[in-house]
Structures are given as C-alpha cells and as structure tokens.
A and B are shown apart, each in its own frame.
Chain A
Amino acid sequence: MIAGPLLTLSFSALVLAALAGRRWPRTWLALTVAGSGVALAAALLVLFGTTDWEWRGTVAFGGELPHLRLDGLSAIFLALVGVLGGAGAVYAHEYWSDASHPTSAPRGRAWWSVLVLSMMLVLTIANGLHFLLAWESFAIAAFFLITLDSGARAVRSAGWLYLAASHAGTLALFAFFALLAERTGSWDLGPMRAQAGLQPLFWLAMLGFGVKAGLFPLHVWLPSAHANAPTHVSAIMSGAAIKMGVYGLVRFSGWLPVPVSAAWVLVIVGSLSALLGIAFAFAQGDLKRLLAYCSVENVGIILVGVGGALLAVADGDSPWGRLVLAGALFHVWNHGLFKGLLFFGAGSVLHATGTREMSRLGGLWRRLPWTAASFAIGCLAVAGLPPLNGFVSEWLVYLGLFDAVTSHGATAWAAIFAALMLGSAGALALASFVKAGSMVFLGAPRGRAAAQAHEAGRAMRGAMLLLAALCVGLGLAPTLVWRALARGVAAWHPAWTVAPVPGALQAIGGTQLALAMLLPAVGWFAWRKMHGRTARRALTWDCGFAAPTARMQYSSASFAGIASGWFRWILRPRLTLRRPRGLMPTRAFRLERIPETMLDLVIVPIGGLIMQTASGARRLQHGSLQAYILYVVAGLVALGAMVLGAGIR
C-alpha cells in the first residue's frame, strides 16, 4: 500500500517546513504545499481504492506503541486539510508576507505547518494517548496563529477565549479517553460498538468535540476567534479546524455504542445550531464575524446528518441513514471549500480596504473583479444553490430526511423538525449572503477606503480561484464524489458497505451539469445581447431622486432588520439612538450592535459566579498566623471528635 510512504513523505515535508519557515519563506511555501498535496494524494488513494492503511510501530512513545490508521472516514477529513493547508499557505505567502508583517510572518509560517501537521496526526492516530497529544498541539498551534497580530487587544482577548474554551473541551476529552482506556484496558482505538457498557462515555465525547466543532451553545469562542485571526488562519480554522471536532464526533459515534438519546440530542442541537447560527450571522455587520457564525450553521447541518444516521442505525439500519451521513460527509468538504473561499475573499477585501465593517464598504466589484467573482461563487455555494457543490450535500441530507419522514417511524419526528429548521436556515443563509455580497461588492463605495481599494495579487487570487473551481467541480461530479463518500460511510458503519450510486444522485448529477451549462449560457447571451443593444448608462433611478449619495444606500443592519426583529429574543441587539431634534436637526444616528449574547448572558455570568465562590473561599487564606493555628487546632479537635465518636460506637 502506497499511502504509508506518501504520509511519511508528507509528514516529513511539513516538519521540515516548520523548521524552515522562520528563515526561508519560499522553501517553506514549497514544502508546505508539497506536504499538503502529498497528504491529499494519500487520502484520495484510500478513498478511491479499496483498502485502508494501518501501521503499528514497535518503538514505544510515551509508554504506548504508535498506531496509525487511514480509513475512509479519516481520509475524507485528511483530503480537506490537504487542500486548505496548501491553498492557505499560498494565500498567506502574499497576505501575511514578511514585507507587511516582519515580526509575525516568520512565526506564522512555522505555526502554520505545525497546525497542518498536527491536524493530520489527529486524523490518523488510533491511540487515545497520542490522540490527546496531537489534539493539544493542534489547539496550541491554532492559538499562536490566532494571536499572530498580538498587538491588538481584541486579538489577544479572542485568543485567550479560544484557549480557555478549547481547554474546557480538552478536559472533557481527557476524561473521555482516560475512562475509555480504563474500561477497555488499552489506549488503542478502534471499533468497539459491541461493548454496550461504553455508552455513557459518548456524552463526554460530545461535549469535548462539540466545543471544538462550535455547536450552538458551545460556540462562544468561535466568532471572535475567527473574526480577529489573520484571514488565512480564519479560513483554515473555519474550513478545517472546527472539522476536527466534527471528525471526533463522527469517528466516535461510529466506533462507540451510542445511546439513542444522544442521537436525538445531536439532531435537535444540530437543527437549532443551523437556525440560530445563521440568524446571528444575518444580523452581523462585520463581514468575518458573519462568516464565522455561518460556520456554526453549517456544522449544525453536518451534525443533523450524523445524528440522523445514528437514528437510522437504531431504527434497524434504515437505508436513509446512508443518505444523510453521505450528505453530512460531503458537506464537510463543501463547507471547508466554500468557507475557505469566502474567508479568502473577505481577506482580500480587508487587505484592500482595511475594514471588515460591511457598512463602510460597497461597490468593490469594479476594483476587485476577481475577488468579487469568486466571492459570488462562494455565496451561491454556501446558500446551497444549484448547480454548485453546497446544493448536492444539502440535497442528500434533505432526501434522507424526507425518506425518514415517509418511513413513518418514531424517528420521523426528528426528521420533520430537522427538515423544517434546515429549510428556514437555508432561506436565511441565502438572505445572509445576498446581504454580504451586495453590501461589500455592489452599489456605490460607502467610504474612501472602499473607493481606493486595489485587487489582490497573483497568489491570493490563485488560491481563491482554486477553491472556486473546486466548488464548481465537486458540484458537477456528485457520482464520482459518491464513491469517496461511500468509503467513508462504510468505515463509519460496516453494515452499509455496499452502496451503489443512488439513481436519484445520477439524475442530480445530470441536472447539475445541464444547469451549469445552461445558466451561464443564458446569462452570457443576455449580456452580449444587451451590450450589443448599447445599454445606456444613467444614474440609478431611485424614484427620480437626482443627487443620490452613497450613504443613502440600504445598510447592512437595515437589510437584516426584519429578521433580527424576529430573533430579538436571543440576539438582544444594543441600540444607541439619537433622534433628530429641533427645527434644523443636525446630528442624528441609530447604532445597532449585536453582542455575543451567549457569551455575555450565559458564560460570563457563570464564570462570574465561579470567581465569586473562589474569592469567597480565598478569605480563609489571609496570612495571619493566629488564624492558621486556629484552623489546625479546629482540625485536630474535629478529628479527635470523629475518632472518639467512632470509638464509643
């Protein structure tokens, strides 16, 4: 099996890249791209081959023998890490170059390679102890990447929040792996569905991996970390790093026996994540924060698929489980690709204008045509519209859910709920990305920064175009992708091994192809024809208003106004209003800001409570000797009383 040597090659290239990163940027770029590409090749070999790759070392490391394995499931995630690791490195080479960030760029390069390498290790390691080591190094590399620009206060606090949340999750994972090792008698990981006693452990895994995946109530760290990190880091964090949490959930829901209640919780929490995540996204005024919240939505969709598959297994291996699981796994790829693309686009905008505030941008399509075009493709893909990739994965999930409903079992209730939530979330996603795309790229520039923007350079454009091409390509070849997905599904649940391409998926592939040819053709025809008719250019009509200013345009908050009204109960926008007063009013404004509701209203109060109890307990500890002697005497008296009491009885 050739996957082994390929992985060795890839890992060593990445280690060398981490070492070379500080001094030689070009060597680093070549090594990182090569390492990522080779890992991608290894993953594709496993996905399109028939055998898994497994390797057991003979030299113990930390008291445990190394055990690596690359099966269909981990290969799906590995392929994504490979693509984003390489594309992100190319993007970073220009975006966070030595010239623009002389102090942090060398660090950034080294940590990038460490991050990519540790994610790949997380995906291949099949030993609990080593998994935790790789997991920890992945978390720390991500922390240093998020805080690359450590001069800014917002960045530092986002970094600390990420680190704290990440470690809270890791704590749960420590408990999970330790208990697992204690119950099974070994740190070795593998399928253990037969051991029903392990069931409760899945809750711990759900908590630990859920934090990393950014499931709704556990997502508090995600928006600020993804918004404040350098954009190439946001792209890999959103595209690949949170997928490590998803990987953990998928992996251990496949290996462990899972309580049915946990499957229900996954479906319900996933649905709510999807709806509330996108509701928060729609209300945001910060482009990168919008993208970050949208990741919460997409993880929700993925977990609806995973939870649905678990329900299907519990429901006597119903065949619709394959569809939702395949849809979820495909969505892992798709979300990684289009979210990477959108973040790259946002980075290019940030690079060009220096702001992420959508209400200061506008009209950028003229100055950044490449960015605008690829961002528009990303918008179409993330809204799940045909003929792009996002549609196929969402369609698979929907088809599975519809099948579940028609099967008329108890699980149908979960499917009905999920389908309704996903439907509304899908429409809100469309709304969010019409808003994001149009606020940034359409209309008139709302400020000087937007008017004087410049297009990104070759490397950044290349990375965007690559991801855009993948978004289009994966959408056009769903039957080819299905082969890879079927390997992942079979690795998750061996009973679902034989999975021929569903006939409906072939039909979808056909319609996707037809649409992909027809729609651009119609559009191109219209443009040629109208252009030939010498389309006259005139001022926007605007009901006859002859002197429009850019500030009269609909703003980001007003676009989302109606929907944020619906979600006011959870968004809790902060409003600063100054009404026009007097006869000749001069100053009036209305400022609406969406706070981090879950963080401010749930996590911070809980943290405050813990701090209060802790500082209450600290009063015992004040350094006066007399009091300490009193404690000792009181302790001795109490001990004596206990001993005496026991003796009398």
Chain B
Amino acid sequence: MMIVLSFVARLAWWLLLAPLLPGIINKVKAWVAGRRGPPVLQLYYDLARLWRKQVVMSTLASPAFIVGPAVAWAAVLGATLLVPLGPAAGATLSFRGDVVLMLYLLALARFATTWAAMETGSAFEGMGAAREVTYAVLAEAAMIAAMLTLAVQTGSVSLATMLAPSVGTSAVLLAAGLFTVLLVENCRVPFDDPATHLELTMIHEVMVLDHSGPPFAAILHGASMKLLLFAVLVTQSVLPMGTYSRTMASIVLLVGVLIVTVGVGIVESFMARFAFRRVPLLLTTSVLLCVFALLVAWQGAA
C-alpha cells in the first residue's frame, strides 16, 4: 500500500509539478523586464487546450510523426523515475549503473523527437534536428564527466547514493558545468531562445513547428519534465542531501529546484542568445568545467 502511495506521489511530483517551471521562468523574466507577464500556470492552460485540439499532419509524415512524441514523453518519464527525490525517498527504481540508463533514456527521447521532426521534410525542422543532435555530442561528454565526478566522490555508480553527499570542493565547478548542460539540453538562452519567432535561430521550437494538438502537448510536457529532472539533478549533486532529515530534504529539494529555475529566468533576462558558431565554445567550456570537477573530486577522494 505504502509503495503504491509513494509511487503515486512521485508520479504527481514529476507529472504535475513539471509544467510549473516554465511558468516560473517566464514570470521571472517578466519581473526583471518590468512587465506583468503570463500567469505562472500558463503552461497548464496551454496543455489543457492542446489536449482538446485536433491534429494536423503533414502529407509526408508517417505514423512515427505521432508515435515519436509519445515515445519521447514516455522515455523522459522513465528517466525521471530513476532520479531520487532526496536520500530518504530514493528513486522508484535504483540499481548499479542506473545512471547510464537515465542518460540513454534521455537519448532515446532525443532520437524520437528528432526523428519525428524529420518526418515533415521541412528544411527548418531539419535545421533544428541537426542542431539538437550535434550539440548533444558535447553535452553528453559533459554529462558523463559530471556523473563520473559523482561516482568518484561517492565510490558508487547508482544515482541514489551518488547524489546523497555533497561534492565538496568541486561543487562550484560541477554546479556551473551541470547548469550549462541544463541550459543546452533544455534549449534555453544562451543556446536557444524559446521566445523568439525567428525559426532560423532556434533548436527545440523549430523542431516542433509542424506538431499540433495532443502530440504537441506531449512534447511540451516532456520538455518541462526534462527541465525539472535537470533541476533536481543539479540541486542534489551540489547540496549535501544525505545530511538532512526526511522533511528537511524535501524542503531543501523544493527550494533548490526553485532557485535553479529562477536562475534560468535570470540568465535569460540578462543574456542574449549566442551566435551559433559560439555555442560549441560554451559547450566545450561546460565539458571542461565538468572534467575539472572530476579532477578536483579525484584529488579529494585520493
């Protein structure tokens, strides 16, 4: 009974809380700019509206155009179930090497989204898909380095124990590296601008130009879950979660996620999107940050 309850609670956390994050980011951006901005719950309204809408499919598209977003959504949900929510609560599923499964489920979501984007034969969507898969190369290296840092720090290869203690001296480096990965993986400024209407300059938004109705809702919801996943990861890899009591850990996690989200909003308010040729430079920086974090952690553990 408890297991079922806790599973439902977790699902609620991931499914229901996630759409709040983009709302908070937009609110922060609006505040900084002195506007009132859309309501924090805007994405919920959008999702509800999209869910009722009809679907328009390109004449060229195969069934994978619809199946892709659904699979991507399910893959992200699967990845979230591997991420622990605080040391006491743990993850739904935890075993040695689950960290690799999490990375590859996110990769599966990337495959499904880009494949669905290529279905339409549109050059814009080709552009977006090409950027998405290419930037992921460096982001993946950074993620592996970050996960190795945690593994070295804790001597464990399971997310539940890897995320429990703080990273100590390498925390700042790791936080910076992971935060940059969060920005690129979730297509935020300075890598991508989710607010622009110039399709040529976008990654994620341009990939989903042709999607509509419920599949589009699945894409938006999946994206927000991914953002929440990274926010949870960043928070837990930096803070000493293992030292808090159960309630304290939950509060700290919530506050941490909030801080990361507000941070994304502030970055977006004060930075412009980079020119595309400078994006790899920033990505390489994030790889280097994570590698340095690894070296520092190595020294600390030795």
Seen from chain A, the residues whose Cβ lies within 8 Å of a Cβ on chain B are: 362-363, 365-366, 372, 376, 379-380, 383-386, 391, 394-395, 398-399, 402-403, 405-406, 408, 412, 416, 419-420, 422-424, 426-428, 430-431, 434-435, 437-438, 441-444, 502-504, 507-508, 511, 515, 518-519, 522-527, 529-531, 533-543, 548, 550, 552-554, 558-563, 566
B120–A443 touching, CB < 8 Å = yes
Which residues of chain A are within 8 angstroms of B214 by Cβ–Cβ distance? 526, 529-530, 533
Q: A231–B120 Cα gap in the complex (Å)?
A: 29
B148 within 8 A of A: yes
B215 within 8 A of A: yes
A535–B55 touching, CB < 8 Å = yes
| Given A380-B111, A408-B152, A537-B294 contact (CB < 8 Å) | no
Which residues of chain B are within 8 angstroms of A399 by Cβ–Cβ distance? 96-97, 100, 157
B267 within 8 A of A: no
Minimum C-beta distance from B185 to chain A (A):
11
Given A536-B57, A552-B123; 20 other pairs, CB 8 A cutoff: A385-B108, A395-B100, A398-B100, A399-B100, A403-B157, A408-B152, A420-B141, A420-B291, A423-B140, A427-B133, A434-B129, A522-B73, A523-B66, A531-B66, A535-B55, A540-B59, A553-B121, A553-B126, A558-B126, A566-B280
Q: How many A-B residue pairs have CB under 8 A?
A: 250
Q: A430–B140 Cα gap in the complex (Å)?
A: 11
Which residues of chain A are within 8 angstroms of B123 by Cβ–Cβ distance? 542, 552-554
A385–B107 touching, CB < 8 Å = yes
Which residues of chain B are within 8 angstroms of A560 by Cβ–Cβ distance? 130
Minimum C-beta distance from B180 to chain A (A):
16
Which residues of chain A are within 8 angstroms of B4 by Cβ–Cβ distance? none
A442–B118 touching, CB < 8 Å = yes
A504 contact from B95, B130, B138, B276, Cβ within 8 A: B95
B215–A442 touching, CB < 8 Å = no
Minimum C-beta distance from B276 to chain A (A):
8
Least CB separation from B75: chain A residue: A519
A444–B101 touching, CB < 8 Å = no
B133–A430 touching, CB < 8 Å = yes
A interface footprint on B133-165 (CB within 8 Å = 1, 0 otherwise): 111111111011101100110011100000000
Main secondary structure, interface of B, reads helix
Minimum C-beta distance from B182 to chain A (A):
17
Least CB separation from B134: chain A residue: A562
A427 contact from B97, B115, B140, B301, Cβ within 8 A: B140
B70–A383 touching, CB < 8 Å = no
Which residues of chain B are within 8 angstroms of A385 by Cβ–Cβ distance? 104, 107-108, 111
Q: A405–B97 Cα gap in the complex (Å)?
A: 13
| Given A522-B70, A530-B215, A383-B62 contact (CB < 8 Å) | no
19 interchain pairs, CB-CB under 8 A? A385-B104, A394-B100, A398-B97, A399-B97, A399-B157, A402-B100, A402-B151, A420-B291, A426-B107, A430-B107, A434-B114, A443-B118, A503-B96, A507-B95, A511-B93, A523-B71, A526-B67, A530-B55, A542-B120
B122 within 8 A of A: yes
Minimum C-beta distance from A632 to chain B (A):
66
Which residues of chain B are within 8 angstroms of A444 by Cβ–Cβ distance? 60, 121
Minimum C-beta distance from A645 to chain B (A):
64
| Given A518-B74, A523-B70, A540-B210 contact (CB < 8 Å) | yes
B71–A536 touching, CB < 8 Å = no
Which residues of chain B are within 8 angstroms of A518 by Cβ–Cβ distance? 74, 78
Main secondary structure, interface of A, reads helix
B245 within 8 A of A: no
Minimum C-beta distance from A27 to chain B (A):
41
Least CB separation from B52: chain A residue: A533
Minimum C-beta distance from B190 to chain A (A):
17
Which residues of chain B are within 8 angstroms of A366 by Cβ–Cβ distance? 62
Which residues of chain A are within 8 angstroms of B40 by Cβ–Cβ distance? none
| Given A430-B111, A527-B63, A535-B57 contact (CB < 8 Å) | yes
A525–B140 touching, CB < 8 Å = no
Q: A430–B136 Cα gap in the complex (Å)?
A: 10
Residue of B111, B215, B291 ringed by the most chain A CB atoms within 10 A: B111
Q: How large is the interface on B (under 10, 10 to 19, 20 to 34, 35 or more residues)?
A: 35 or more
Which residues of chain B are within 8 angstroms of A398 by Cβ–Cβ distance? 97, 100
B138 contact from A384, A424, A524, A537, Cβ within 8 A: A424
Q: A402–B146 Cα gap in the complex (Å)?
A: 12
Which residues of chain B are within 8 angstroms of A529 by Cβ–Cβ distance? 214
A interface footprint on B102-117 (CB within 8 Å = 1, 0 otherwise): 0111011011001100
Minimum C-beta distance from B118 to chain A (A):
3
Q: A363–B61 Cα gap in the complex (Å)?
A: 9
Which residues of chain B are within 8 angstroms of A426 by Cβ–Cβ distance? 107, 140
A541 contact from B75, B141, B156, B209, Cβ within 8 A: B209
A interface footprint on B159-189 (CB within 8 Å = 1, 0 otherwise): 0000000000000000000000000000000
B124 within 8 A of A: yes
Which residues of chain A are within 8 angstroms of B145 by Cβ–Cβ distance? 420
Which residues of chain A are within 8 angstroms of B151 by Cβ–Cβ distance? 402, 405-406
Q: A541–B78 Cα gap in the complex (Å)?
A: 32
Least CB separation from B137: chain A residue: A427
Least CB separation from B210: chain A residue: A541
B302 within 8 A of A: yes
B196 within 8 A of A: no
Minimum C-beta distance from A421 to chain B (A):
8
Which residues of chain B are within 8 angstroms of A365 by Cβ–Cβ distance? 62
Q: A550–B60 Cα gap in the complex (Å)?
A: 11
Least CB separation from A524: chain B residue: B67
Which residues of chain A are within 8 angstroms of B135 by Cβ–Cβ distance? 562
A interface footprint on B44-60 (CB within 8 Å = 1, 0 otherwise): 00000000001111111
A443–B56 touching, CB < 8 Å = no
B131 within 8 A of A: yes
A443 contact from B98, B105, B121, B218, Cβ within 8 A: B121
A536–B54 touching, CB < 8 Å = yes
Minimum C-beta distance from A419 to chain B (A):
5
Which residues of chain B are within 8 angstroms of A376 by Cβ–Cβ distance? 64, 115
| Given A402-B148, A420-B144, A539-B59 contact (CB < 8 Å) | yes
Least CB separation from B284: chain A residue: A566
Least CB separation from A512: chain B residue: B101
Which residues of chain A are within 8 angstroms of B143 by Cβ–Cβ distance? 423
Q: A515–B130 Cα gap in the complex (Å)?
A: 27
B242 within 8 A of A: no
4 nearest CB pairs, A to B: A554-B126, A443-B121, A438-B118, A526-B70
A522 contact from B74, B129, B141, B210, Cβ within 8 A: B74
A508 contact from B99, B101, B302, Cβ within 8 A: B101
Q: A523–B215 Cα gap in the complex (Å)?
A: 11
B97–A543 touching, CB < 8 Å = no
B282 within 8 A of A: no
Q: A16–B120 Cα gap in the complex (Å)?
A: 51
B152–A405 touching, CB < 8 Å = yes
Least CB separation from A514: chain B residue: B78
Minimum C-beta distance from A426 to chain B (A):
7
Minimum C-beta distance from A217 to chain B (A):
22
| Given A444-B121, A537-B59, A431-B209 contact (CB < 8 Å) | no
Which residues of chain A are within 8 angstroms of B67 by Cβ–Cβ distance? 523-524, 526-527
